[in-house]
Amino acid sequence: MSSSHPVLVVGSVALDTVETPFGRREELLGGSATFFAYAATPFAPVRLVSVVGRDFPAEHEERLSQLGIDARGLERADGETFRWTGRYEGDMNVAETLDTKLNVLGTFDPKLPADYRTTPFVFLANAHPANQLSVMDQMETRPAFTVCDTMNYWIEQELDGLREVLRRVDGVVLNDEEARRLTGERNLIRAGRAMLDLGPKVAIVKKGEHGAFLFSMLDFFALPAYPVDSVIDPTGAGDSFAGGLMGSLARAGRVTLARLKRAMIDGTVMASFAVESFSVERLASLGEGEIRSRHEEIVQFLSL
């Protein structure tokens, strides 16, 4: 753990059931905040806000603290933990959601512990826009960099709230389909630029195994994905990308376009590890050297 600035994530902690060509696994540790936290923690101290039910295995919570993740913001509510069931087929780029049981996540009202309210780097994972706004309202000091994610459901059902979130954040990270749905632009370059018109200074569009684009008023950047030859389970790739990205920025302590590009490399590296196993197994056992060496390999790809 470095002495870098802390990162706050507010999102889901889940028990996932996942089917991929490599098998079916039940009740795996998942959720957007989980993948984000596991991916960010090698770079910066992480503070996690989420909710689980009484059935959430204690070992998962112990593992968070062993990794140095501050989970004082993980509420244990009466009821069952959020459950998501998904399947991947073919090129495994798109998850088919088979079942979502919101359980305690359905009534979740995030409450930030007092000392989380001055965290300089904030990630609002996919959630009801009202929850994302409530987190921003609870901040006592203006964060250096706030980034949000969302999903098609909120784009369709809660567009006004989502637009307000987008007016208030510094950055947004979406996948290609979400970017198209949000902006109505089929072409991803046009979609990326249109996202900037909604408020954020920076928009990142992820394209799964095809990499990611960065859009800002001043610059454009395209980064390939790290080539992984054994994708076991893509669940959490997007949130791990966001975790690597925000962790990397927090370690740098400031956000410049050059730092953002390097942070996208770290996001790409963490996503590549996330997909190499079910759940957070691979992320949980990573050494610093492995992270650095993939980062350097990508830098090599980029220099002719």
Give the interface with ligand AMP as residue ranges (CB under 6 A).
Answer: 12, 14, 16, 30-32, 35, 84, 100, 126, 235-239
Shortest CB 89 distance to ligand AMP, Å:
15
Shortest CB 206 distance to ligand AMP, Å:
9
Shortest CB 22 distance to ligand AMP, Å:
16
What does the alpha-carbon distance between residue 291 and residue 34 come to, in Å, rounded to a whole number? 19
Q: Going by C-beta distance under 8 Å and a sequence separation of 6 or more, which residues neighbour residue 9?
A: 32, 33, 36, 37, 40, 46, 47, 48, 49, 122, 123, 125, 243, 246
DSSP annotation of 224: P
Residue with Cβ nearer ligand AMP (252 or 280): 280
Residue with Cβ nearer ligand AMP (248 or 279): 279
- Please say whether the beta carbons of 276 and 232 come within 8 A: yes
Give the number of residues written for the chain.
304
Residue with Cβ nearer ligand AMP (144 or 228): 228
Shortest CB 132 distance to ligand AMP, Å:
12
Residue with Cβ nearer ligand AMP (181 or 201): 181
Residue with Cβ nearer ligand AMP (102 or 196): 102
- Please say whether the beta carbons of 270 and 243 come within 8 A: yes
Q: Going by C-beta distance under 8 Å and a sequence separation of 6 or more, which residues neighbour residue 228?
A: 209, 272, 275, 276
Shortest CB 158 distance to ligand AMP, Å:
12
Bridge-based pairing of strands 46-52 and 70-76 is: parallel
Q: What is the number of the residue whose Cβ is closest to ligand AMP?
A: 30
Shortest CB 139 distance to ligand AMP, Å:
21
Residue with Cβ nearer ligand AMP (31 or 53): 31
Tell me phi and psi for residue 289, to 5 degrees: -65, -40
Shortest CB 144 distance to ligand AMP, Å:
24
Residue with Cβ nearer ligand AMP (232 or 237): 237
- Please say whether the beta carbons of 266 and 247 come within 8 A: yes
Exposed e or buried b per residue across 99-119, where buried means at least 16 C-beta atoms within 10 angstroms of its C-beta: eeeebbbeebebebeeebeeb
What does the alpha-carbon distance between residue 111 and residue 119 come to, in Å, rounded to a whole number? 14
